[in-house]
Amino acid sequence: MTASEGVRNRTWSELEIGATATLERVCSVQDLILFAHASGNTNPVTLPGAEPAAQGLPATAPSLWVGSLVSAVLGNILPGAGTMYLGQDFRFHARVHVGDRLLVSVTCTGKGESPVARFATRVTNSTGALVCDGNAEVEAPLQSIVTPRRELPALIVDQYDHFTKLIARASVLPALVTAIVCPDDRRSLGGAILSARRGLITPVLIGDLAAIQRAADEIGEDISAFPMVAEIGHRAACARAVAMVLAGEAGAIMKGNVHSDELLGQVVKKEGGLRGHRRLSHIFAMDVPSLDHLLFISDAAINIAPDLTTKVDIVQNAIDMARACGIVQPRVGILSAVETVNVNIPSTLDAAILSKMAERGQIKGAIVDGPLAMDNAVDLEAAMTKGITSLVAGRADVLIVPNLEAGNMLAKELTFVARAEAAGLVLGAKAPVMLTSRADDERARLASCALAQLYNHFQREGVALGAHAEGAR
């Protein structure tokens, strides 16, 4: 390995008094979040987004984060690889905030008995003001080491919390009377109780009352204040929930510990169901750690292999949901395996037609483009690399998948691999239907209630809640 392929350290015998090394570093939000994880220090003054609002100040970097930059110079440059600390003292003179550019320097001030070496350490900001200084004593390396030039693995830091904002916005609306179907396990009942406490819903518990009470006892909750309707059997409970909506006794339905097919079978019935003027479809709202906006995915739960006519309704339903959440003009990407029209891939033909229909006003309220592959739908650099000129490519708010299998796999991969949070809702019915997975936790059900509230308001008023809704882009 040559010197050009890596960085060579300086051994104890090679060190000279007065030798100096420096590096520059800009303090970032990610730095402070990662330092909090590594150290366990969650002081609100040092965490972005948690600082006291009354002060209106940016987060202050922990002093020891600043001090840790010295170890990067000692361990990477001078003396470099193989260096081990014996001691370090610091005196801090100024505070560092996100965005500050720092210059970190070390100067060899003395050598003891091999392998001991001493260094003066110093950190200044972009104005030249002293941030901190001190002295380090280290064991310098005794053997030459050439360290390969490499980047550390990328980390995904969840800097955004879209669901909290969504829940807060929906909480100003009157509680939505919601029929909870068979909430006889801890997650479905806990989600209903949490949503009621946040003022999103007024739950009506339907099902085997003894089983529901056992679930309440298991999680230590008192449910005596909630209306309860006794029904034996999942099908009967689902039918009762639908009947309550039709009778005006409930404004929404939430799936509990039942299979989706059992509930949807009652919802889509031609006689006594909740069909509206559009085809029913399901939408996932995904809070993805690496994205600065909500990502909507449809349809991953109802329409198995939708034809073009069905896809028109799926797209329009999804647009309405995104607009209800405050996105003024959603960007909708119609997904396929490739970003060019290919007669051998039917989904690319559907995508091109849907895009043209939106252009001609047959699909309203959004910018629609396709076909797009997943990479160039959500990653601007990927779109630019492939030479795609589009208002949607690289910045899609809504993804329309070609079939249920693709949508379900995409949503589950984001949830279990990318650590996204998901909320779900059935659209196009006479009332919102929260079709959560039985594996979803209480927060997913709470977020689904927020979606139901905002969608219900949009369907009723024709506009999103709030003139300047969060998430408008």
Query: What pLDDT does residue 466 have?
Result: 77
Q: Residue 157: which pLDDT band, with cuts at 50, 70 and 90?
A: low
User: For residue 56, is pLDDT > 70?
Assistant: no
Position 301 pLDDT exceeds 80? yes
For residue 242, the model assigns a pLDDT of 96
Domains observed in the chain: 3-148 (3.10.129.10), 162-330+397-461 (3.40.718.10)
pLDDT, tens digit, for every residue of 245-294?
999 999 999 999 999 899 999 999 888 899 988 999 999 999 998 888 99
- Compute the distance between CA of residue 123 and CA of residue 104 in angstroms, rounded to an integer: 5
Q: What local confidence, expressed as pLDDT, does residue 218 receive?
A: 93
Enter the pTM of the model: 0.75
- Whole-number pLDDT of residue 201: 95
Residue 55 has pLDDT above 70, yes or no: no
pLDDT at position 151 is 76
**Is pLDDT above 80 for 123?**
yes
Is 80 exceeded by the pLDDT of residue 161?
Answer: no
Residue 46 has pLDDT above 50, yes or no: yes
- What is the reported pLDDT for 47? 83
Give the integer Cα–Cα distance in Å for 2 and 201.
67
pLDDT for res 244: 96
Q: Is the pLDDT of residue 384 over 70?
A: yes
Q: Quick check: 147 pLDDT over 50?
A: yes
Where does the pLDDT of residue 159 fall: very low under 50, low under 70, confident under 90, or very high at 90 and above? low
Least confident of 118-127, 152-161, 292-301, 335-344: 152-161
**What confidence score (pLDDT) does residue 302 get?**
93
